Amino acid sequence: MSLIVQKYGGTSVGSTDRIKYVAKRVMHWRGLGHQVVVVVSAMSGETNRLLGLAKELSAAPDPRELDVVAATGEQVTIGLLSIALMEMGVPARSYSGGQVRVLTDSAFTKARILDIDDAAMRRDLDAGNVVVVAGFQGVDAVGNVTTLGRGGSDTSAVALAAALGADECQIYTDVDGVYTTDPRIVPQARRLDTITFEEMLELASQGSKVLQIRAVEFAGKYRVKLRVLSSFEDPQSPGPGTLITYEEDDTMEQAIISGIAFNRDEARILVMGVEDRPGVAFAILGPIAAANIDVDMIVQNIGASGQTDLSFTVHRNEYRKAMDVLERERGRAFQCREIKGDDKIAKVSVVGIGMRSHTGLAARMFKALADEAINIQMISTSEIKIAVVIDEKYLELAVRELHKAFDLEKAPA
């Protein structure tokens, strides 16, 4: 007998019919003799709806109260799934994050899991129950409801799997695995049988929403066996999905490039004509960090006559706040000629561990973009990634062309 954690995302629990279908799959796994812990998201669209209600009342809702509202979505689905399971004769018990005691820090709307108490869940499992846990939520040390950031149910599932020492964590979603890129943008995208942990981490951090980045981080830290699968396939004959592997030798596919990620979540800020002297990057980015704004890409160019331009990207939600901070600090912490911003940008990233051993990949990427007359605004690289910022209106074209340029529709020989 093994212990399996299964996570079902919003579309997979998007209606009572879908919830019944989830219950059937859970029943199937339990019938095979496994203990099953199920983590569910809110019904699709529900978290957006809830956050939208708060926004109707305030342009900047209090984060603690926002979490109180957002966490209700998952509370509905744990109850409904438990009812559906019981109706099929499967004993089930629902748990909110607080009831499990998924302990988090108090960073409302982006809390981090600190500890999970597995005692109550284990008792229930040992008594033969399916345990149904609300994803995306936890509770801080003083009992405040917290949420883990958008897409956070993936992280709940992996963290529970780690805490319980589960044999496998299965992420069920509306695609049958991790693809070379989002199949909604490139229909020719190909499902990968396996992907290395490092590549998955990079894809997730660059915007592939199929797994939340913290889920991948958690999986790596605790070596959780993690698989992405479809909740739409027949429970009796499921596909293989995509397995995240931890050893490079495990990779059956030796592709140089594994996938392309993209996001529209960032905005670019350009501080022009800054005095070129030591400490200037700190003078500009220090107040941004002090305001708790995360910075992603940073580019600094030395211009003529002792001046420099610094550009960087922040999350689009924090764009206005970052611009306000800079306007406030301008003339105090630093002097500059002009501050400009653009929130109509997109970032496209090509990822693959083969970059370590192959050259010329950046040139291939830049040629594919040049051939389509797509201007590159910023570039950043890591050992296994090349990312570019472009005008948002070219995003889909860029992803399609890069997919072609790297032959990603073909399985590696």
Buried b / exposed e over 279-291, threshold 16 CB at 10 Å, is ebbebbbebbeee
Q: Which of 14, 151, 241, 287 binds Mg ion (CB under 5 A)?
A: 151
| Interface residue with ligand ADP, options 184, 367, 393, 404 (CB under 6 A) | 184
Which stretch, 8-16, 217-225, 346-354, 365-373, contacts ligand ADP (CB under 6 A)? Answer: 8-16
Q: Smallest gap, in angstroms, from Cβ of residue 174 to ligand ASP? A: 12
Per DSSP bridges, beta strands 338-342 and 266-275 are antiparallel
Q: What is the DSSP string of 162-227?
A: HHHT-SEEEEEESSSS-BSS-TTT-TT--B-SEEEHHHHHHHHHTT-TTS-HHHHHHHHHHT--EE
Fill in the per-residue mask, 207 to 226: x = in contact with ligand ADP (CB under 6 A), - = not in contact.
Answer: -xxx----------------
Question: Which positions from 256 through 285 interact with ligand ADP, judged by CB under 6 A?
Answer: 259
Among 4, 6, 8, 9, interactor with ligand ASP by CB under 6 A: 9
DSSP state of 230: E
Q: Which amino acid is at 269?
A: I
Q: Interface with ligand ADP includes 199 (CB under 6 A)? A: no
Structure tokens at 67: 């979490």
153 versus 311: smaller Cβ distance to ligand ASP: 153
- Output the DSSP codes for 274-329: EE--TTHHHHHHHHHHHTT--EEEEEEEE-STTEEEEEEEEEGGGHHHHHHHHHHH
Query: Please, which residues bridge with residue 132 across strands?
Result: 38, 94
Site string for ligand ADP, 11-30 (x = CB under 6 A): xx------------------
Stretch that binds ligand ADP, among 21-29, 205-213, 282-290, 400-408 (CB under 6 A): 205-213
Measure the CA–CA gap between 369 and 347, rounded to whole angstroms. Answer: 13
- Both tokens assigned to 352: 């693959």
- Site track 61-80 with ligand ASP (rule: CB under 6 A), x = hit: ------------x-------
- Give the span between the Cα atoms of 245 and 263, in whole angstroms: 24
183 vs 341 by CB, closer to ligand ADP: 183
Which residues sit opposite 115 in a β-bridge? 103
Residue placing its CB nearer to Mg ion in the complex, 171 or 271 = 171
Structure tokens at 285: 């980015």
Contact region for ligand ASP (CB under 6 A) — 147-155, 159-167, 331-339, 356-364?
Answer: 147-155
Select 124 or 182, whichever has its Cβ closest to ligand ADP: 182
Stretch that binds ligand ASP, among 87-95, 120-128, 150-158, 368-376 (CB under 6 A): 150-158
Residue 126 CB, shortest distance to ligand ASP, in Å, is 28
Beta strand 130-134 with 35-40: parallel, antiparallel or unpaired?
A: parallel
Nearest distance, CB of residue 215 and ligand ADP, angstroms = 10
Antiparallel, parallel or unpaired: β 295-302 and 307-315: antiparallel
From residue 101 to residue 140, the character string flagging contacts with ligand ASP as x (rule: CB under 6 A) and all else as - is: ----------------------------------xx----
Distance CA 173, CA 97 (A): 21
Residues that bind ligand ADP (CB under 6 A): 9-12, 41, 151, 173-175, 178-179, 181-182, 184, 208-210, 259
By CB under 6 A, name the binding residues for ligand ASP.
Answer: 9-10, 41-42, 47, 73, 135-136, 150-154
